[in-house]
Chains A and B, each alone.
Chain A
Amino acid sequence: MVMSAVVEEAVMDAPYGVAEPVRTIEHAAEEINGSFSLTDVSVAYGAETVIAGVNMLVPTRAVTALIGPSGCGKSTLLRCLNRMNDEIGNVRVGGTITLDGLDIYQKSIDPVDLRMRVGQVFQRPNPFPMSLYDNVAFGPRTQGVRKRDELDAIIEEALKDAALWDEVKNHLKKHAFELSGGQQQRLCIARALATKPEVLLMDEPASALDPISTQQIEDTIAELKNMVTIVIVTHNMQQAARISDQTAFMLRESMDQPAHLVEVGETKRMFTNPDDRRTESYITGRFG
């Protein structure tokens, strides 16, 4: 949070007339990594605005949880951060989203490059129909890594980070579909980590898994937050309380108005002493 503030100040302090140096995704990656700043963000599907007025910071090397009832736009907001909404026609994102001070919706940004920095893990495990090795090697190969020993090292590291290495190290040629659901999801985490992202977006990553697999995913997240910024959408309040540092509560109060951010803050405080009554009702299970 602090770091991103510094960048914004630097930009604002730049004297008029002095051209700002051209910033690309690569430049930004060297400076600081993985903090988002959302200013007055709105999302519209065609004529219908579904999210409006979201202001929040996503601090680096921490877990931010997005919670709220079904249909409140958590996943939509998450998908703004790696511009996956671009892939659906007719979606417009308003306001400003910056990654380490860089506006990710400006014209010069190629979403394809952005997605190498901002990885995503989906609700249901979606391994590609190929071997474990090829799954994890997929991203690095796209980035141009071809040497076998380099790939081997990246894959071992990613699988270790995703806490899957010990289970699969002797079966890397196995087809990904032979793994259990929980293993497949950790494989997808490893696949996302292999491109060395600074941010990992997780859209209810454990909702399709059994309790033990969920536990393993949560343990993995706890380890990963030392390396990457994590933004996680979850339906499970206990999960948000267990694993996140910051929680954002979203709500769409009626179908006539867009969803908005009710409250965002330190998880511990949100779950013990929320500012807003609606947050309290939701957290204590009175609706949603």
Chain B
Amino acid sequence: MKVTPTDMAGRHLGRTTRRRAAEAVVRTLVYAAGLLSIVILLAIAVFLFVEARRSMSEVSLGTMLTSTQWFPTGTPKIFGFLPLIAGSLMVTAVALVVFVPIGIGAAVYISEFSAGWFKEGMKTVIEFMAAVPSVVYGFLGVAVLIPWVKETFHLTSGMTALTGGLVLGIMSLPTVISISEDALHAVPDALRQGSLALGNTRWQTIYKVVVPSASSGIFAGVMLGLGRAIGETMAVLMLTGNAAVIPGSVFESVRTMTGTIAAEMGEVVFGGLHYSVLFSVGLVLFAITFAINLAADLVLERQRKRWRR
């Protein structure tokens, strides 16, 4: 069969048009899916802002952010975020103390010392940890940690910032471990070889070369763990006692921003001032977690550039 140039051209042209159409459809769909997440994020911010507007005009954001008391149902009503922010920061700080050493240690172990099926098994277990619902972690805290904290530190109540922070720390571990492990894994093997060939032991190689090389990724993991801890609601609601007072130490009861919203949202008048104030709390929380995640992302991006040689 002879194919003339015209036939060739005609056939070629026909296929290209069809292919181009299919490509355009796929591209539009993928583009829309990508755009949707941005739209949702913006919508959340706008929605929070709109609902919070009443509280901002009636109480003012400055007053809410600087007032040290939270009496949303008292007379007069006082809407001070400081006890809530302090509560959130304190449990998050306790969580940080738990998940930084354990998380980085576990990541180093998985990346540098384990191998084969055991390594895969560990990674699966870590992923499973992330899949456990937070209310289950809350149960664990209620059943084990609350009595333990009460007995060990001779307190009248085991519901403290410490209790909530310990559980938050455990809950944040999967995030910290998997991101740090990725960062350690991404360190080129040539660097380990180079260090060993200079007469360093395996351990010296890890702390002098591998961990510093992965430091920005590990930092990003810690930041994301921090974001997870500060945004967690259920476990802290169950474990911290929820007293809206600026805490003097980790052995006191605290109330977090997330816990406040979850506990009070069901009882407020829809569209009322208290309702609007809770949205302001949400807005503050949103801003804090957004900043943390953004910082982590920037650091991760810098690391990616560094290894792209």
Does B associate with A? yes
Q: Does A279 count as interface, using CB distance less than 8 angstroms?
A: no
Contact bitstring A135-156, B, C-beta under 8 A = 1, else 0 = 0001100110000000000000
**B197 cross-chain contacts in A, Cβ below 8 A:** 82, 84, 115, 119-120, 122, 192
Contact bitstring A185-222, B, C-beta under 8 A = 1, else 0 = 00010011001000000000000000000000000000
**B115 cross-chain contacts in A, Cβ below 8 A:** 89
By beta carbon, the residue of chain B nearest A191 is B198
| CB proximity to B under 8 Å, residues A67-96 | 82, 84, 87, 89
In the assembly, what is the distance between CA of A170 and CA of B29, in Å?
55
Q: Does B209 count as interface, using CB distance less than 8 angstroms?
A: yes
* Inter-subunit contact A142/B200 (CB<8 Å): yes
Count of A-B residue pairs with CB < 8 Å:
63
A87, A119, A191: residue with the most chain B Cβ atoms closer than 10 Å: A87
* Inter-subunit contact A115/B193 (CB<8 Å): no
* Inter-subunit contact B198/A195 (CB<8 Å): yes
In whole Å, how far is B203's beta carbon from the nearest beta carbon of chain A? 11
| CB proximity to B under 8 Å, residues A91-138 | 112-116, 119-120, 122, 124, 126-130, 138
* Inter-subunit contact B212/A115 (CB<8 Å): no
* Inter-subunit contact A142/B204 (CB<8 Å): yes
In the assembly, what is the distance between CA of A69 and CA of B33, in Å?
51
Q: A126-B188, A126-B190, A177-B309 are contacts. A115–B196 as well, Cβ < 8 Å?
A: yes
Show 20 residue pairs from A and B whose CB-CB distance is below 8 angstroms, ordered by the A residue: A82-B197, A87-B193, A112-B201, A115-B198, A115-B199, A116-B198, A120-B197, A122-B193, A122-B194, A122-B197, A126-B193, A126-B194, A128-B191, A128-B195, A128-B213, A129-B306, A130-B212, A142-B204, A142-B208, A191-B194
By beta carbon, the residue of chain B nearest A142 is B200
In the assembly, what is the distance between CA of A222 and CA of B52, in Å?
75
Contact bitstring A154-174, B, C-beta under 8 A = 1, else 0 = 000000000000000000000
In the assembly, what is the distance between CA of A191 and CA of B200, in Å?
13
**B201 cross-chain contacts in A, Cβ below 8 A:** 112
* Inter-subunit contact A139/B190 (CB<8 Å): no
Further 14 A-B residue pairs, CB within 8 A, beyond A112-B200, A129-B213, A188-B194: A84-B193, A113-B199, A114-B199, A115-B196, A119-B197, A122-B190, A122-B194, A126-B193, A127-B194, A129-B191, A139-B199, A142-B198, A142-B199, A142-B200
In whole Å, how far is A284's beta carbon from the nearest beta carbon of chain B? 34
In the assembly, what is the distance between CA of A195 and CA of B200, in Å?
11
* Inter-subunit contact B196/A138 (CB<8 Å): no
| CB proximity to A under 8 Å, residues B170-209 | 188, 190-191, 193-201, 204, 208-209
* Inter-subunit contact B306/A192 (CB<8 Å): no
A113, A128, A143: residue with the most chain B Cβ atoms closer than 10 Å: A128
In whole Å, how far is B118's beta carbon from the nearest beta carbon of chain A? 13
**A119 cross-chain contacts in B, Cβ below 8 A:** 197-198
Q: A128-B195, A138-B208, A139-B199 are contacts. A177–B188 as well, Cβ < 8 Å?
A: no
In whole Å, how far is B190's beta carbon from the nearest beta carbon of chain A? 4
- Which of B188, B193, B195, B213 makes the CB contact (< 8 A) with A138? B195
